[in-house]
Structure 1
């Protein structure tokens, strides 16, 4: 990744908002005036800082059909329900992306995955990218690690997942699971995480970069 030679002008920076998650700092919003030291050009920026996150593309094969497991929950900024990959913010100070991905899947879907069965799709990117997906770099520092899980299940498992209510109610998570044929996923949601994961998965599959899928999923 190429970085401009930038420095912040403290007098031109202003904190505009802080949201706390209990005793922990959650979201920050601030305005900063940045100067390119070579050209002395000012680069203004309004920043929403929320830190790294993870999302998981869960693909389950059943009776010859491959399904994707999605969450459905209301998203206030867009004013509607949205189908999304199971996802969450990285709250581990050690930067444990894959461990966080496994925990988020269990919290949002009830599915218990093994860390060793996870494939880091974003790790397949050129190292110059930082190995993360950047959904909105013009205004937000968020970087997302996209993971893949593949397994085989019976039809009863697919039926039991469809419409299942999940999420941490005390955290305001009102989630329902939706199981969608993978062949229809790309046109079923506008979720950037899902669309990016599809692209990475398909390209990695074409290049032969993926390990063999898990023989069966213990869900």
Structure 2
């Protein structure tokens, strides 16, 4: 099942991604091209408020020419020793909050057919506002909104919740509700 790299060429290296063209030898001996996007690992957070809502950030996504509601998330950087540190930093940067309780929910490759991005999703509870929170990234223009499950589901049905991590977060929330698990602990 393994594909052996025969040739590899970086065609572009950006701030977040690196684009690589590779030729690989398939198990049957044939050569095939692969277009790969190398991407830093990331972390996302499902931040539950004390009244059972979730904090979402709304931001414009140029590749799809649309504003989406998303759970807070961001890339690991050189200062982060773990995905949890990334999640804590991103929660504070994007919402101005920290959390008392953290639980790792899952991790996965976002789209392994063309990228190596690995995402870890956490649930955060016991949110509290920080007096002087970390600054948002310079190129971020975010609108913070706490949504009830019903409001978030309506956004999903309207097509403003569509990215994989947030859809996962919404269905995780739905599963918790369906099992009768209390969220506002």
- Alpha-carbon spacing, 1:137–1:78, altered in 2? closer, same or farther (3 Å): same
Could you tell me how far apart the structure 2 residues matched to 1:43 and 1:29 are? 17
Contact 2:102 2:124 in 1 (8 A): yes
Partner of 2:136: 168
Could you tell me how far apart the structure 2 residues matched to 1:33 and 1:112 are? 45
Structure 2 residue corresponding to 1:59, chosen from 48, 52, 57: 48
- Alpha-carbon spacing, 1:151–1:168, altered in 2? closer, same or farther (3 Å): closer
Q: How far has the Cα of 1:213 moved from its partner?
A: 6.3
Q: How far has the Cα of 1:187 moved from its partner?
A: 4.1
The unaligned stretches of length 5 or more in structure 2 are: 156-160
- Alpha-carbon spacing, 1:152–1:168, altered in 2? closer, same or farther (3 Å): closer
- 1:183 matched to 2:142: no
**Taking structure 2 as the reference length, what is the TM-score of the superposition?**
0.80
Q: How far has the Cα of 1:214 moved from its partner?
A: 7.6
Partner of 1:107: 93
SS at match of 1:118: strand
Matched ranges for 1:37-76 at <5 A:
38-62=27-51, 66-76=52-62
- Alpha-carbon spacing, 1:85–1:214, altered in 2? closer, same or farther (3 Å): same
Could you tell me how far apart the structure 1 residues matched to 2:74 and 2:150 are? 25
Q: How far has the Cα of 1:197 moved from its partner?
A: 2.1
SS at match of 2:109: coil
- 1:145 matched to 2:120: yes
Structure 2 residue corresponding to 1:194, chosen from 136, 142, 166: 166
Could you tell me how far apart the structure 2 residues matched to 1:111 and 1:94 are? 18
Higher strand share: 2
Could you tell me how far apart the structure 2 residues matched to 1:176 and 1:152 are? 18
**Taking structure 1 as the reference length, what is the TM-score of the superposition?**
0.69
Could you tell me how far apart the structure 2 residues matched to 1:142 and 1:69 are? 24
Contact 2:99 2:125 in 1 (8 A): no
Contact 2:98 2:127 in 1 (8 A): no
- Cα RMSD of the aligned pairs, angstroms, is 2.8
Could you tell me how far apart the structure 2 residues matched to 1:100 and 1:34 are? 34
Contact 1:167 1:175 in 2 (8 A): no
- Alpha-carbon spacing, 1:199–1:95, altered in 2? closer, same or farther (3 Å): farther
Contact 2:23 2:31 in 1 (8 A): yes
Q: How far has the Cα of 1:143 moved from its partner?
A: 1.2
